[in-house]
Amino acid sequence: MGSDSGIPNPFLQIVEHPDGTITRPFVPQSPPNPNPPVLSKDLPLNPSHGTYLRLYLPVAAASPDRKLPVLLFFHGGGFVLFSPSDATYHASCEAMAASLPALVISASYRLAPETRLPGAYDDAAEAILWVQSQAANPASADPWLSAHGDFSKFFVMGSSSGGNIAYHAGLQAKSMDLCPIHLSGVIINQPYFGGIERTESEAAGEEDPVVPMRSNDMLWRLTLPIGSDRDHEFANLVKAGLDEAVGMVRCMVLGLKGDPLFDRQKLFAEALEKKGVEVVKKLDDTGFHAMELFVPPKAEALFNEVREFVYGA
């Protein structure tokens, strides 16, 4: 996703048109995998929105006498690119399902600029309610979930823009009747936040190979409600105050020094703590944005952190 990863930066390949539409770059796709060690399949979420879910079941861990945590995952892409079927995210979710192990549900959401925020947040809430409906109606539930899902260990996770979405999903869950599922935690990996005034890490990352600031500014311009700037509450959460976070379930916030967005991630974790939220902070390592998608040791390090959070809950 940049020179550090050996992959051309897809954000720099987005073409904006005068009428407000965009042309997205080609991204390799992966179909669901019907073969072990990790089975996957797609299920519709909201056909009228074109949203769907990709489920991952690690076969070796899915024994009849063992239930697996259920992890609802939201991919990154600056709210503008990617889906659960993109090859990189498919491979990452497959590896995560096997490593934790967990029953992973990778949720698609409507992308900007065709659907600006809060559309993706609404889709995330719909995905949570879908999981709740599966637990509440076992006779009609998907057999993977009814046979192997431990709904008392339900987690929401997201990376990059998906981390932003995961946080908002955790907020929305506070006012939902989720019985019989129990939201045990929210995992917010390298969340994508913004603001008008550059932080030190953003200023140092103007030409970052993964999230150069010109791409960053464009993504927010395409994503936020028309007429909004980067200090909108969907982007600059810390400036908005995070008052709505009071009473939120425990969170884990992960970030890497070297990511231009690191300063905002650190400030976000600190602001959550000030609101009384239990926060597990993992902000001491170094690297680049979305590093776990391209560097296997970083992926395993992330999965180890997630495993500890999920199984220690």
CA–CA gap between residue 299 and residue 99 (Å, rounded)? 10
Per DSSP, the three-state class of 173 is: helix
Helix (H) or strand (E) holding 297: helix 296-311
Which amino acid appears at position 45 of this protein?
L
Please name the residue that has the structure tokens 């500890």. 308
288 contact partners, CB below 8 Å, separation of at least 6? 2, 4, 5, 208, 209, 210, 256, 258, 259
Is 174 in contact with 144 (CB distance < 8 Å)? no
The catalytic site residues sit at 160, 259, 289
DSSP 107: E
Is 156 in contact with 170 (CB distance < 8 Å)? yes
Per DSSP, the three-state class of 131 is: helix
| Angle, CA of 78, 82 and 86, to the nearest 5° | 150
To the nearest 10°, report the CA torsion of 176, 182, 185, 188.
Answer: -50
- Which value, in Å, is the radius of gyration of the alpha carbons in the chain? 18
Q: How many residues does the chain have?
A: 313
Taking Cα atoms as reference points, which of 173, 152, 168, 191 lies closest to residue 70?
Answer: 152
Q: Six-digit token pair at 54?
A: 């990709």
CA–CA gap between residue 306 and residue 187 (Å, rounded)? 8
Which amino acid appears at position 145 of this protein?
L
